[in-house]
């Protein structure tokens, strides 16, 4: 299925400065795998060392957070848009 994957500004430097890319993918996980396969430098910003999507990386299919769908197994339909939306977190060492 043809899907558009939108790249947040913070990561465009690692994706050829593109705001979006297009893939044929069956699931969200498949699309992300293709993305990080082409743009390997994205991987460390999207995934932990043990291969899980980082907690502050939110993945939406159209307007739905994949956490409330089937996570990386969420199926893709033709014309869907996957968005990578940051959460921002931090704090002092205490």
Partner 1 sequence: MLIVNKEIAQAIRGHGARDYPNETCGAMLGLDRAEGREVRTLFPLTNRRDDSPRNRFSITAEDFRAAERAAKDQGLDLVGWYHSHPDHPAKPSEYDREHAWPWYSYVIVSVASGEPRDMTSWLLSEDRSHFEPEEIASLMSAPPGTAHR
Question: What backbone torsions phi and psi does residue 6 show, to the nearest 5 degrees?
Answer: -90, 135
**What SS3 class is residue 4?**
strand
Q: How far is the CB of 44 from partner 1 (least distance, A)?
A: 6
Q: Is 44 near partner 1 (CB under 8 A)?
A: yes
Q: Is 49 near partner 1 (CB under 8 A)?
A: no
Q: Is 13 near partner 1 (CB under 8 A)?
A: yes
Q: How far is the CB of 32 from partner 1 (least distance, A)?
A: 17
Q: In the sheet that 57-61 helps form, which strands lie side by side, from edge to edge?
A: 20-24, 2-6, 80-86, 57-61, 64-65
Q: How far is the CB of 45 from partner 1 (least distance, A)?
A: 6
């Amino acid at each position: 299925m043809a899907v558009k994957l939108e790249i947040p500004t913070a990561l465009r430097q690692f994706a050829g400065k593109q705001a979006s890319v297009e893939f044929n993918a069956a699931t969200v996980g498949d699309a992300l795998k293709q993305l990080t396969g082409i743009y390997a430098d994205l991987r460390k910003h999207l995934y932990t060392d043990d291969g899980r999507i980082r907690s502050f990386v939110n993945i939406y299919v159209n307007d739905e957070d994949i956490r409330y769908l089937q996570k990386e197994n969420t199926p893709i339909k033709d014309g869907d848009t996957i968005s990578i939306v940051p959460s921002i977190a931090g704090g002092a060492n205490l």
